[in-house]
Amino acid sequence: MNVMFVSSSLTGGGAERVISVIANEFSKIPAIDNITLVSIIEDKVSYELNKQIKYIPYKGINENKLIRVIKRFSFLRKTIIKEKPDVIISFATQVNIYSIVANLGLKTKVIISERNDPNRDPIQSTVRKIRDQVYKLCDGAVFQTTDAMNYFEKVGKFPRTVILNPLKANLPEPYEGIRESRIVTVARLHPAKNLPLLISSFKNIIRKFPNLTLEIYGEGEEKNHLIELVKTKGITERVFFKGFSNSIHNDINAAACFVLSSNYEGMSNAMLESLALGIPTICTDCPIGGARMVIDHMENGLLFPVGNQEKLEQYLELILEDFSLREKFKENSIKIRERLSSEKISKQWLEFVKLILTE
């Protein structure tokens, strides 16, 4: 079996991390003869690939938008013809569209994977309509949540399944000891993450917790706006923008609490890794249902309604004040390590690939 993965890049995004993990696991399977990983947006690499994987990046430079799109389609189609994969596995809307269209008329099967809330992403409704039409031509689809899968019932009758994200291998062991007085979040600094909600909630509770700090890990377009918000609220000495970290798991492991305040989300890798580290975790119960698939409220973490600042503040105070609850969450949440091991998740992917190839 020859497998081709198609991604936007191999830089620090969640989808890119997942595709690198699955490709590396596939490279250990004797039944798979050749694995190719193609990036069609940029050729930067942040994730390590096993030496058995052939990496082919697109290297377009300084092209206008139309020429860039045409060249990417041409590059991908020529690569498919040359490498002769039995199946293509592509991640994220834009890449999925490229993969399906580039493969038209060829015998290769195409499995797409949607990685966000299809009701809201892409932002442009026209692009969502194009996506829905193009997806009718795929041979199979993998979703992160049941809600996302159900959205596409109206699109077509292609085979589909839900497979959760694998955890990163070699995560640190859960922290043992008294947790540090800091709240952490790890997210792209984007409006969808609703970080102003977290900042405002933090501002309102620090009267009760004089040593408490907030650490925001990540980069993005909202950074300057968020820095100004922190200044306006007079909490610059308590809120720290940490940027991108290559040692993120060690950086956050001893934190008192992890918060994800998104308005919508696919399946947050940061949330999954927080649970696996045993960090008390609070997330919005946001579309497209990723958090509720892994967090059992009051058993291994806390869920609150999107945009509900009062509830977030209540849960932050609960976590910070209740040691026994933090220990309960830790004991239960680290069980996700077994459930979402890279080996187990990759086997689910392999079974679905085999199903599609026999259709």
Q: For residue 161, tell me if it sits in a domain.
A: yes
Please answer whether residues 328 and 308 qualify as being in contact, where contact means their C-beta atoms are separated by less than 8 angstroms.
Answer: no
Question: Do 116 and 254 reside in the same domain of the chain?
Answer: no
Question: Do 147 and 82 reside in the same domain of the chain?
Answer: yes
Question: Do 352 and 301 reside in the same domain of the chain?
Answer: no
Overall domain count for the chain: 2
Rounded to whole angstroms, the Cα distance separating 353 from 357 reads 6
Question: Do 232 and 242 reside in the same domain of the chain?
Answer: yes
pTM of the entire predicted model: 0.90
- Domain hosting residue 112, numbered range: 2-166+341-357
Q: For residue 175, tell me if it sits in a domain.
A: no
Residues 6+ apart with CB under 8 A from 12: 46, 244
Question: Do 190 and 203 reside in the same domain of the chain?
Answer: yes
Rounded to whole angstroms, the Cα distance separating 241 from 223 reads 8
Nearest in space to 7 (alpha carbons), one of 32, 27, 36, 31: 36
Question: Do 153 and 215 reside in the same domain of the chain?
Answer: no
Question: Do 70 and 80 reside in the same domain of the chain?
Answer: yes
Please answer whether residues 237 and 90 qualify as being in contact, where contact means their C-beta atoms are separated by less than 8 angstroms.
Answer: no
Question: Do 120 and 144 reside in the same domain of the chain?
Answer: yes
Question: Do 104 and 17 reside in the same domain of the chain?
Answer: yes
Q: For residue 72, tell me if it sits in a domain.
A: yes
Question: Do 242 and 313 reside in the same domain of the chain?
Answer: yes
Rounded to whole angstroms, the Cα distance separating 115 from 148 reads 9
Question: Do 268 and 283 reside in the same domain of the chain?
Answer: yes
Would you give per-residue pLDDT tens digits along the chain (359 residues)?
A: 999 999 988 776 678 889 999 999 999 999 999 999 999 987 777 788 999 999 999 987 767 888 889 999 999 999 999 999 999 999 999 999 999 999 999 999 999 999 889 988 888 999 999 999 999 999 999 999 999 999 998 888 899 999 999 998 889 999 999 999 999 999 999 999 999 999 999 999 999 999 999 999 999 999 999 999 999 999 999 999 999 898 999 999 999 999 999 999 989 999 999 999 999 999 999 999 999 999 999 999 999 999 999 999 999 999 999 999 999 999 999 999 999 999 999 999 999 999 999 98
